[in-house]
Amino acid sequence: MLNMDSGIAAIIGAAVGAAGTAVAAGVTGFWARSQAKLQLAAQRDQTDSQIRAEHARSIRDPRRACYIEFIVQTENVSEFIRAAATKLANGGSINTTEERFLDQYKRIEDPLRNALAAVSLEGPEGVWAAAASSAAKLSAACEELMSWQLTIIDGAETTESLGRVNEILGEAHSHVIDFRSAGMLVLRENGTETHVERLTLRTLPHRSDASSSSS
């Protein structure tokens, strides 16, 4: 009986040991699989982050370049208009023997129009609206200069003309400030326009408004 009990105990002990080994192996395998899944998820997240960052950079960099170009061209046109206004205020003429003022303006405005077209393509909408409004005001300042020139030719009083030109240039500059502020928001968001697009559309003129003002 004792031998039988010892044999049974040995069998039970072996079974328990085998079960313990199986459980330990199962736990180890489960832990290893969990770790592998976590590592795979981390690698996937890192890859997704890199893809998003690269995509954002591919949008942000061209936008930054065209935003800068537009600001430079608005400054060039503004300086040209101020110089012409100074000539008129001093009794001179904005036309030259080589070129009419309108032809001069069109020549210097062409780069601005190209820059505006680039902004319209790069977007977003609110940034384009501010840019278009600024360009429209510069065109209005040009028209005011030509009207001023005609009043001088006709011998009419022109004391208020310089003030009107400066007022229009001030409005154009305000739109440039709106453009720069909206552009900075977009670039800070890595080129995306989630809440930035809604913000600029809420605070700046819509494309239809800008288009009507430029027509």
3-class DSSP assignment, residue 97: coil
Residue 92's domain comprises 59-214
Per residue in 64-93, pLDDT (tens digit) is: 999 999 999 999 999 999 999 988 888 877
CB atoms within 10 A of CB 21: 10
Residue type, 145: L
**Residue at 118 is within a domain:** yes
**Residue at 27 is within a domain:** no
**Residue at 28 is within a domain:** no
Give the count of domains, the chain: 1
Per residue in 86-115, pLDDT (tens digit) is: 888 888 778 776 678 888 889 999 999 999
**Residue at 142 is within a domain:** yes
**Residue at 175 is within a domain:** yes
Structure tokens at 165: 């030109």
**Residue at 41 is within a domain:** no
- Rounded alpha-carbon distances, angstroms, from residue 137 to 28, 120, 132: 73, 17, 9
**Residue at 97 is within a domain:** yes
Specify the pLDDT at position 214. 42
Is the whole-model pTM more than 0.95? Answer: no
Which of 175, 64, 66, 157 is CA-nearest to residue 114?
A: 66
Over residues 190-204, the mean pLDDT reads 48
Query: What gap in Å lies between CA 187 and CA 64, rounded to an integer?
Result: 7
Residue 43: pLDDT above 70? no
Per residue in 115-158, pLDDT (tens digit) is: 999 999 988 888 999 999 999 999 999 999 888 888 775 555 56
**Residue at 26 is within a domain:** no
Specify the pLDDT at position 153. 59
SS3 content of the chain, % helix, strand, coil (to 5): 85, 0, 15
Q: Of the ranges 11-15, 80-84, 156-160, 163-167, which one carries the lowest mean pLDDT score? A: 11-15
Specify the pLDDT at position 10. 52
